[in-house]
Structure 1
Amino acid sequence: MSERAAVKRRFGHRARLALSPARVRKADDQAHAARTMWNLLHAWWRMMPKEKRTLANADAAIRQAREDIDFLAVLPAQAAQAVLKTYFQAWKNCWEGRAGAPDFKGRVRTVMSVDVPQGRDLNIVRVHRRWGMVNLPKIGRVRFRWTKDLPVGKRANGENRITGARLIRDVLGWHIAFRIQTLEVQPEPHHGPDVGIDVGVTVPIALSDGETYEHGEWLTDKEQAKLLDLEQRAARRKQHRKPGEHTSRRLHRTYDQIAGLRAKAKRRALDWQHQTTTAIARTYGTVVVEALTITNMVKSAKGTVDQPGRNVAQKSGLNRAISGEAWGRTVIMLTYKTVRRGGTLHKVPAPGTSLRCSACGFTTPGSRESQAVFACKNPDCGWAGNADHNAARNVLHLYRMGLALIPAAGRAVVRRAKRVKPATAR
């Protein structure tokens, strides 16, 4: 055993379930029963005086409800207890200021889910290179996509095991999210090179060493044409709906088809982000990114009635492109993946990185000739190159100058490192 300390790691893994139509109905019934149980608990909470709002009284109330309402019997008893614990935890989060107060869950907008608190009830077995089998209470033995090695069978022990799961339904069908606990040896320091990263819309990720990571459209031409047709169809059907009238089933089906295509695009984007960030975390020991305030970057340009905005349509398109690239999610992935491999991630101030020359360090008007070309207008320099790589080199240089940001009292402050690397190492 290595002398390095072992750390306990908890994470989740989501896999797609292969359910028959009959089992899909069973899972739907359980999810609706769990939502009904939540609403009954919330109604009980609002009705009871404060001194009687205890966990024991709530447990007695849901037990009585399961006896009186036949529909709730389809929900496993442990799943009902999980609803109770989740509800009380929601109030605790509200009292501690981490979330708002719990409310009733509607049938349409609520994510359908069922909790399986005990991992030992799952009885997971791998039966094929691509498929595994899992036991779901009151549903039966079902298949799921095996895309990650799980601590099951001989690999499972007190420290490496699956502690539970949750069934979740989205527009692409039912999935299972495993809760996994592992004991891993703390990684050795990553001795890979330093790299600065510049994120953008035209070039999603550009590195300071000249490497770029790009992607195409998330949907094929045929899928894009179908999405456009569905959106136009939904707009036409929506015009015939009177104010206050319920949405028709046809329109609901159209919305579901639109949501399915968008979910497919998001799944492909997530896969690309995971592969890209994993490759960066494996190669580089120190990753430096810009501290971007994305919420300010995607604000609308409509303005007010007295002072209307300019180029509103262009700004709206840019906002959609920025949101589609999900820069914040990329940074989150890089953060935990670099730590798991012994590396580090740092953030530096963002202003001026794309306008400053990485060769001479001066900012001169007109140097950013286009989206892709940077040509320094300093007479003593005259350096020219790719604009994205120039910005990534500036990001790395700010870190090597000791200008790294650390959170302090809810805000970012500049930290000047004690050890400064020479500027020639850029």
Structure 2
Amino acid sequence: MKTQFLSFRICATFIATIGGVRADAGRKYRAYPTRGQEQILTGWGHTARALWNVALEQRVYLWEQRRYTLRSAEQCKYLTAARSELDWIGGLPAQAGQQILRQLDRAYDNFWNPDHPARFPARKKRGHRLSIPLPGQAVEVRKLNRKWAEVCLPKLGWLRFRLSRAMGGTIRNATISRDGNGWHISFGVHIGRKPDPPNGEPVCGVDFGVAASAFVSTEPTPRLMPPTLTANERKRLKALEQRKARQITYAKRHNGGKYSRRLRTTIAQIAKLATQRANRRRDFTHKLTTDLAKSHSLIGIEDLRVKNMTTSAKGTTGAPGKNVRSKAGLNRSVLDNTPGERRRQLEYKTRMYGCVLVAVPPFHTSQTCAACGLVDPGSRKGCGRLFACTHCGHEDDADHNASIEIEARARRTGGSDINSTRSIPRVRVPANGRRRMREAPKPAHAS
């Protein structure tokens, strides 16, 4: 029996590899459902969110009470019984419900994987983005003309979408979602692309910051991200947020907390502006990471802990903390530059374009002289934009100096085949030594 199971597993792995079961690229298109289809999709989105929460609650309960691990293969049996008894679950396509349970399996696997940064699967609130997943076998796509196509969804029929780019592969899964701009449909496709050979381009280090979005060591000027919102859009967003606060207060006092139509309209307008801001930020990030991966053979970045960097300063209304407002503004600026998303995109784009990504320790990259290697906080007084070494007198932009230091560290850890063309900083203070110096007790003052 064990041999048969092993043979089946090897066969399944062979089919998944040779047959192209896994999706290795994504395609996202703007969908245009009719009014009736939009109502059905909205109901499906809320049903999918509720099904995720119920399935997660069932798994948590069985583990806490009986130490029993429940997986999707067994939960699908309960889903079949629930579809016959509950109409609100029966209205959702069976393929979508099964796909949700498989996604919950993947969320658990990512949580238990020590190399994956995922947390424990979280419950989805009502304000969460509506999303309906489907396997590739449940959908059918046909092209109408050069700019339009439509997809056949179970229990819904043909849904039109804008064919903004070619599909370019075999569809493995599909997801219908809604954001502030409307409905979209995303396809996971298998295109079978293999990684490019080493491109032979130069080596660089990149310093991601707030004042300078990205400073590349081989470039004299930084790359700045354009404002994600114009001045008028920022004013309008602030006014809408204030209007939303007033309308929520009124709803709690006079309507028992029930949202009015005007309040929902205000929330939709805020969501539209937030989506525009996210799209512009994502557009800059994709262009930046693609250009870096194509034009360099090795890219060094800092191994940042964004979660620790954006930890809010503690403070309440009764006992306000210090610099809470300024720290909140700094957190928004750091998150607006999306250092984690840039690293995620570089990880897969460097493999595609024959490049290597190296994450180096970020300790004192902004206080290390790129010329002589001296680590001295006094070289950058007041965290300004100028770096002036106290030992050799080297002067440079602080972010550019940090990018050169990042490049030097990446060269040392990126492989012996990388030939260094710059002097490696020689003076180093180990991290544990610096920590001991900071934690050393101060000498007692004479009485």
**Shorter-chain TM-score category?**
0.7 to 0.9
Matches for 1:152-171 after TM superposition, within 5 Å: 160-171=169-180
Equivalent residue number for residue 398 of structure 1: 409
Query: Relative to structure 1, is the Cα distance of residues 268 and 145 closer, same or farther in structure 2, using a 3 angstrom cutoff?
Result: farther
Counterpart Cα distance in 2 of 1:359 and 1:149: 49
Q: Does 1:372 align with 2:381?
A: no
2:229 maps to which of 211, 219, 242: 219
More helix by percentage: 2
Counterpart Cα distance in 2 of 1:399 and 1:42: 42
Counterpart Cα distance in 2 of 1:56 and 1:356: 55
Aligned residue identity for 2:202: P
Q: Secondary structure at the match of 2:193?
A: strand
Deviation at 1:320, TM superposition (A): 1.2
Counterpart Cα distance in 2 of 1:274 and 1:66: 42
Q: Does 1:140 align with 2:157?
A: yes
More strand by percentage: 1
Deviation at 1:290, TM superposition (A): 1.1
Contact 1:189 1:342 in 2 (8 A): yes
Counterpart Cα distance in 2 of 1:91 and 1:387: 42
Query: Relative to structure 1, is the Cα distance of residues 173 and 206 closer, same or farther in structure 2, using a 3 angstrom cutoff?
Result: same
Equivalent residue number for residue 430 of structure 2: none
Contact 1:91 1:102 in 2 (8 A): no
Deviation at 1:403, TM superposition (A): 4.9
Q: Secondary structure at the match of 1:350?
A: coil
Counterpart Cα distance in 1 of 2:156 and 2:138: 16
Deviation at 1:361, TM superposition (A): 2.2
1:381-418 alpha-carbon deviations (Å, 9 max, x no partner): 32322222111111112223x256xxxxxxxxxxx969
Equivalent residue number for residue 123 of structure 1: 141
Counterpart Cα distance in 1 of 2:335 and 2:42: 32
Deviation at 1:284, TM superposition (A): 0.6
Deviation at 1:231, TM superposition (A): 1.1
1:92-127 alpha-carbon deviations (Å, 9 max, x no partner): 777889764786x65x23442222213463224262
Counterpart Cα distance in 2 of 1:39 and 1:296: 28
Equivalent residue number for residue 23 of structure 1: 37
1:124-151 alpha-carbon deviations (Å, 9 max, x no partner): 426224x433222232323323344313
1:263-296 alpha-carbon deviations (Å, 9 max, x no partner): 2101110011001110111101100011112222
Equivalent residue number for residue 185 of structure 2: 176
Equivalent residue number for residue 423 of structure 1: 422
Q: Secondary structure at the match of 1:12?
A: strand
Equivalent residue number for residue 408 of structure 1: none
1:16-64 alpha-carbon deviations (Å, 9 max, x no partner): 21222222112123334444555676788769x9899797875555444
Equivalent residue number for residue 343 of structure 2: 331
After TM superposition, the structure 1 stretch with the greater mean CA deviation from structure 2, 199-208 or 136-145, is 136-145
Q: Secondary structure at the match of 1:225?
A: helix
Counterpart Cα distance in 2 of 1:96 and 1:399: 27
Deviation at 1:312, TM superposition (A): 2.7
Equivalent residue number for residue 81 of structure 1: 98
Counterpart Cα distance in 2 of 1:298 and 1:43: 30
1:190-218 alpha-carbon deviations (Å, 9 max, x no partner): 21000010111111000101242112211
Counterpart Cα distance in 2 of 1:102 and 1:310: 32
Equivalent residue number for residue 317 of structure 1: 329
TM-score (norm 1): 0.79
Contact 2:143 2:149 in 1 (8 A): yes
Q: Secondary structure at the match of 1:18?
A: coil
Let me know the Cα RMSD of the aligned residues.
Answer: 3.8
Aligned residue identity for 1:316: A
Aligned residue identity for 2:133: D
Query: Relative to structure 1, is the Cα distance of residues 299 and 89 closer, same or farther in structure 2, using a 3 angstrom cutoff?
Result: closer
Counterpart Cα distance in 1 of 2:46 and 2:28: 21
Contact 2:312 2:324 in 1 (8 A): yes
Contact 2:82 2:90 in 1 (8 A): no
Counterpart Cα distance in 2 of 1:227 and 1:362: 46
Counterpart Cα distance in 1 of 2:317 and 2:214: 38
Counterpart Cα distance in 1 of 2:110 and 2:368: 45
Counterpart Cα distance in 1 of 2:87 and 2:413: 63
TM-score (norm 2): 0.75
State the identity as a percent: 30
Counterpart Cα distance in 2 of 1:66 and 1:316: 46
Counterpart Cα distance in 1 of 2:278 and 2:164: 18
Equivalent residue number for residue 396 of structure 2: 385
Deviation at 1:227, TM superposition (A): 0.3
Q: Secondary structure at the match of 1:206?
A: strand
Aligned residue identity for 2:193: E
User: How many residue pairs were aligned?
Assistant: 396
Counterpart Cα distance in 2 of 1:364 and 1:43: 53
Aligned residue identity for 1:376: C
Please list every run of 5 or more consecutive structure 2 residues that lacks an aligned counterpart in the other structure. Answer: 1-17, 426-447
Equivalent residue number for residue 187 of structure 1: 196
Counterpart Cα distance in 2 of 1:193 and 1:20: 52
Equivalent residue number for residue 270 of structure 2: 258
Contact 1:187 1:340 in 2 (8 A): yes
